[in-house]
Structure formats: structure tokens, C-alpha cells
Structure 1
Amino acid sequence: MSAKRLLVLSYAYAPGLGGIERVSGLLVEGFRERGWDVRVVTSTAAQRADPTILRRPSPWRLIRALRGADAVVQSNVSLGLAWPLALRLVRRPWIVVNHTPIADPATRRRRRRDLLKVGSLPKRSTYAVSEFLRALDTPAARVMPNPYDHHVFRTDGRTGDRPLLFVGRLTPAKGVDVLIDALSRLASEGRPLPLTVVGDGEQRTELEDRVRSAGLDVAFLGALPPEQVADAMRRHRVLVVPSRPTPPEAFGLVAIEAIACGCRVVGTAEGGLPEAIGPCGRTVPVDDVAALATAISVTLDDGPDPEGRRDAHLRPYRLPAVLDAYEAALEAAGLGR
């Protein structure tokens, strides 16, 4: 019996390094390990050719790829990749899992393109990666958990010998400036704490200058590959995610990865981040320096999270469980009928 043919539509894909790219890559690897014949269609260019990846296809090549599939998984709605399905030029079992807001979360206003995206979604097989995102854009949808790589992000070799870690892009939306202000407040109260920053971005030079002016102990390591990010998480006790709602964190996969490495998490009560943190940390209001400083101090004093509680929280996000959920969704969408 031939393998089931799955086409993954992911406008963002490797060699990109964002959340959609990582999740799509995990799904492709996981489905292949389960015996699926998986191909990818993406809008992301790359220097290296791969016969299993169709990049920036012409309309005809896109239609041919869709017709050659038994089922389609789409990582985030994209009119540029799904229009033959939306127009019913090709009919296949098709699920869409949204990772980002369609409309502007601040105003809830939908531009014409946003309305077209919403109208293109399959009515009975649209999902969102968090309850927050589902309620924001597609109330009739269901939640599809985001997977993390449990082979990379794990507690093996954990030391937890440093207190605080930040992982993410160095942009105003990530709120590292608020974290620096919280550390300055803690230092003035007699509790100076070192911080490790993993990531890069437009704000790095400004943040480094701010740290020097404040006399804080902050190490900027730049962007790191996943294996080294996991190593950094295992060396720290608390991950801090001080994100702002510009745009909101639709889920917060970095929190799940840190919890899987044994960290507790302090983050803002914004978007889908509280769902990702669950019982394994604390949330604070956006831009509240005093609340962030207090939460960091108290969470460090809490000590390690109980293993049973951590494992129960992580269970739905482990790749095997997420693949089970995707296969059930494909079956419900008509695969095998």
C-alpha cells in the first residue's frame, strides 16, 4: 500500500527561523516518521534546492502540487498558497491552523485582504494555536496545540545555576527594556540579578547601552540554534517573557520550550502567553516594572516546578500528541472517505 501523500502549505519555512518555520518543520519530520509522503509548498526562497520543497511556485505548479496530494495542511492562512482550494479549483481534505492574528488585535478592524482571508478558510476544518487566537479571529474554530521538539528541549543535563534568561528578538514588542528596568529596581532593593539574553534585533545596541548605563550584569549572546537555546534554558531557573501587545503573542512557544527544560516562566498576561505558561509560572500586566520585578523575585524563591505538574502541562504539546491531533483533524476533514 502506497504512503498517504500530504502537502504542507507554509508561507514561512526553513531557512527562516521563526515560530511558523519551526512548527512546520517539526510537523513535516513527524509525519514522515509516521510513514507519510510529505511535500512542502512555501513562499520562502532558499539557495539550496530540495526536491520535496516547492518554493514560490507558479499558479500551474501550485495546482499540480495540490492535485498530487491526498490531503493538505496549511500552517497559517495564506491567500497566495491556498487560492486553488478556496476557489474549489482543487478539492482535497484541507485543514488550516492559524498562528497569527488575521485582523488588527488593537482595533479588530479587518482590511479587505483580511476579509478575503477569513472567507477563504474551510468552515469545518479551521484551527488556531491558542484559545486567545481562536476567540479573536475565528470563534467557530477549534484549538490545535503547537508542538515543541521534545528531543531537543528536555531537562537532561540541567544545572539551573544562573537565575534569569530572555530568549527572543530584540525589538520593542518583546519588552526587554521593561525587563532591564525591573532588574534596576531589584538592584536598588538589594537584590542584583544577572541576566542572559539570547537573540538579536534592531534594539540590541540601544539595550546594551542601557545596561551599561545602569551598571547591570547582562550577557548578550546573540541568536543561537535550537540546541544551544535548550542548553541555555537548562542553565537557568527562570525565563522572562515581557512581551507587549504589538502584536500580541498568539501562543508563546518559547515558554513551552523553557518549561520543558525545567524553567519556570514569568511573562505578561497578554495574548496566548498565559495559556503557554499555564501553572508553571506567573503573569504580570504589560509594562508594569514593579509587578515584573516582584514576580521575578518571588518565582526565583519558589524553586523548581514540581515534575508532575510540568509534565501534565507539556503533554498536549509534545510532538506525538500533536501529530495525533492533526491526523484526527485530517480524518474529520474527509481523508480516507
Structure 2
Amino acid sequence: MKILIFSTVFYPMRGGIENLTLNLTKEFIDKGHEVKVIAYQKQTGVLKDIDVYYTPGFLEVVKMFLWCDVYYMPNISLKGVWPLILNPKKRWVVSQNDFSLTNKTSFLSILKLLMIKFSSKNIAVSKSIANSLRTSSEVIYNCYDDTVFKQENLAERPNDFVFVGRLVSQKGCDTLIKACRNLPQPFKLTIVGDGPEMDYLKALVTQFELTNQITFAGTKSSTEIVEILNQCKTLVIPSNGREGFGIVALEGLACGCRVIATNSGGLAEAVGDFGRLFESGNVQQLNMLLKEALLNKNQPDYTEEELAEYLSNYNKQVVAQKYLTIFDKAA
């Protein structure tokens, strides 16, 4: 099968949709399919085994579109819709990874929501997103890189809590810092990531006199994040906004962390029965769960075998095959 992927963001940019698309692309190729990727961003890295075309010209896009059997778009982009004029019957598959199309005051969101109704097949990465789209969708949960994220440290973990994500308001790291006040005993929290809220969050830590307890680690590679996760007891995901899914929850569970997360959107679906949930933005609820974690009162009520079986549903090969089945059947 010849697969053309159109994504406004792709490697070397990092984020949920970028990581998912990269993992799927690699799996499609490993399964013997031909894959080309169109990305509209500045190139700062090189992938040896994937044909990536950054900001290609008009004729180049036309040539690739006519070449492919399936035109796949992770999150619909109006920049990539126009080639369908050349062949409206082309197999066109769209996956929706967030709640951006639910903004009823945005003309572009309304237009995109209308257009995905004409796709050959629409995929939603969680039931929460599928319910928000008001159009027929196949739910396929995201995968995580099971070859990288795994438990490596069977000894005692020296650090208590870890946050991994972009330092933006939606990710709720400020909620986590506020919830760290008045914890009953010394603790260690590592914040992994960078973003526009870095200075604000550091100021909060200073204001609450938590500089000895909270460390900002900055941006880290996947292997470095695995090392950090294996040194921490509990991964905290305090998102303020609705999350399309929650790959980071799977990564934390795979590395042996207990998980505390908000009950927002698809994040709760990713955690399933393998973590503790609290109301988004509720500092008091999170503070209580952090206290329980420090006192070892939220020990997992699942076995390692149950967790392994759960995570097996989200490995790259399984999820990629679900996409390929959709691609093959799309009409």
C-alpha cells in the first residue's frame, strides 16, 4: 500500500501528535508499506529511513497525491485538503487528536468539522473526542513507544513525583505546584519540559518556598525521560484543559510509576483503572492524593500481569495494524 501522510507538524518537533505520527509511520514501513510524509515546518533534523518532504512545492504535492493509494491526515488541515480536487474518490482518512473542532465560535473549526464528514473514514483517538465530533468515527486509542518506555529500575525509587509535558497553561503544572504546599513530609518533584510558563512556575516555587523540593529538569530526550520516570514513584498529569488522549500516562505506567491524573477528556480513558483521578484544577483534591502517595496509601490494586495485558493494547504494532485495516477498507 502507498500511504501519503500530510501533517503540519512532524519530527523533529515533539508532542503527542508528532510522536504518534512518527511511531505509526515507522510501523507502516516495517510492515512493508511505502510511506511519504508532507510536513509544513522548518526542518532541523533528518530521518534516514523515512521520506519526509518539508514545505514541498505545488507540483511535488500533486505528484505525491497521485502516487498514493491512501491519503492520511492526523488532524485535518485546510492546507492539505486542496489535492482532493484532483481525485475526490481518493481514500482519504482523517484522525482527530484533540478537541479543536468543538469551538463553535471559530469559522475554521466549523468548516473543518463539516469537511471531515466527507472523508472516507474518520478516526478519533478517544471516545471523548468521538462524542464531540457529531460524525461517524472509529475509535483507535494512541500508541506509545513500547520499545523505549519500560521499567528498568526494580530498586527503591528515590524521588516521589514527576511531571512530564509542555509548560503551558493547559497542562496545569501550576495546579501541581500549588498542591505541593503543606505536604506532610519532605518530598522530591521533578518537572520535565519547557515552555512559556517556565518563569511563572519557577516564581511560584520560590513564592511557596519549595526550591529544595522541586527541580526543573528542562527538555529531555525519550531515553532521558525513561531514566527519570524509573527514578520516580508517581507520575502526576494535572491537565487543566480537555486532553484528546494521554500517551504520557501509558509511558509512566510502562516505566513502573503510579499515576495521578485529572479526569479530563481522553486522559481518563488512557489511565483506565490503573491510576487515581481528580477534578481538573482542583488543588485540594490533588493535594490529598499527593499526601496519600507520600504515605503509601494509594498502592496499586492491580497486578503486573494485569498492567502488562492492558498496555499490550497500546503497543505500536497493534495500533498501527488497526490503522492499516482502516486504510485498506476505506472507500
Is the shorter-chain TM-score for this pair beyond 0.5, marking a shared fold? yes
- Distance in 1 separating the partners of 2:8 and 2:273: 33
- Give the conservation status (yes or no) of the 8 Å contact 1:183–1:192: no
Q: How does 1:65-84 map to 2 (within 5 A)?
A: 65-84=64-83
Counterpart of 1:94 in structure 2 is: 92
Counterpart of 1:180 in structure 2 is: 177
Matched, 1:33 2:30: yes
Change (3 A) 1:151 1:158: farther
How far off is 1:311 after superposition? 1.8
Give the alignment partner of residue 218 of structure 2, picking from 206, 216, 222: 222
How far off is 1:83 after superposition? 2.4
5+ residue gaps, structure 2, are none
- Distance in 2 separating the partners of 1:149 and 1:48: 20
Counterpart of 1:58 in structure 2 is: 57
Matched, 1:133 2:129: yes
- Distance in 2 separating the partners of 1:317 and 1:327: 15
How far off is 1:94 after superposition? 2.4
- Which moved further from structure 2: 44-53 or 55-64? 44-53
- Give the conservation status (yes or no) of the 8 Å contact 2:142–2:319: yes
Counterpart of 2:240 in structure 1 is: 244
How far off is 1:47 after superposition? 4.5
What letter matches 2:283 in structure 1?
A: V
Matched, 1:308 2:302: no
How far off is 1:124 after superposition? 4.7
1:202-224 Cα offsets, whole Å, 9 max, x none, are 22122222212322200110010
How far off is 1:267 after superposition? 1.0
Matched, 1:146 2:154: no
How far off is 1:333 after superposition? 0.5
- Distance in 1 separating the partners of 2:196 and 2:261: 22
How far off is 1:281 after superposition? 0.7
- Which moved further from structure 2: 48-57 or 236-245? 48-57
TM-score normalised by structure 1 residue count:
0.89
Give the alignment partner of residue 268 of structure 1, picking from 233, 241, 262: 262
Q: How does 1:4-15 map to 2 (within 5 A)?
A: 4-15=1-12
1:146-168 Cα offsets, whole Å, 9 max, x none, are 11100111113354332100011
1:25-53 Cα offsets, whole Å, 9 max, x none, are 11111111111111101112215677811
Q: CA RMSD in A?
A: 2.0
TM-score normalised by structure 2 residue count:
0.91
How far off is 1:61 after superposition? 2.0
What letter matches 1:26 in structure 2?
A: N
- Give the conservation status (yes or no) of the 8 Å contact 1:15–1:46: yes
Q: Give the secondary structure class of the aligned counterpart of 1:301.
A: coil
Change (3 A) 1:319 1:138: farther
How far off is 1:302 after superposition? 2.8
Give the alignment partner of residue 231 of structure 1, picking from 227, 232, 235: 227
Counterpart of 1:115 in structure 2 is: 110
- Distance in 1 separating the partners of 2:250 and 2:45: 31
How far off is 1:234 after superposition? 1.2
Matched, 1:43 2:40: yes
Q: How does 1:136-215 map to 2 (within 5 A)?
A: 136-159=132-155, 160-186=157-183, 190-215=184-209
- Distance in 1 separating the partners of 2:181 and 2:45: 46
5+ residue gaps, structure 1, are none
Counterpart of 1:329 in structure 2 is: 326
- Which moved further from structure 2: 176-185 or 145-154? 176-185
- Distance in 2 separating the partners of 1:137 and 1:90: 22
How far off is 1:64 after superposition? 1.3
- Distance in 2 separating the partners of 1:236 and 1:180: 17
Q: Give the secondary structure class of the aligned counterpart of 1:276.
A: helix
- Which moved further from structure 2: 297-306 or 165-174? 297-306
- Which moved further from structure 2: 18-27 or 303-312? 303-312
Change (3 A) 1:150 1:269: same
How far off is 1:57 after superposition? 2.4
What letter matches 1:97 in structure 2?
A: S
What letter matches 1:112 in structure 2?
A: F
What letter matches 2:175 in structure 1?
A: V
- Give the conservation status (yes or no) of the 8 Å contact 1:9–1:75: yes
- Give the conservation status (yes or no) of the 8 Å contact 2:75–2:96: yes
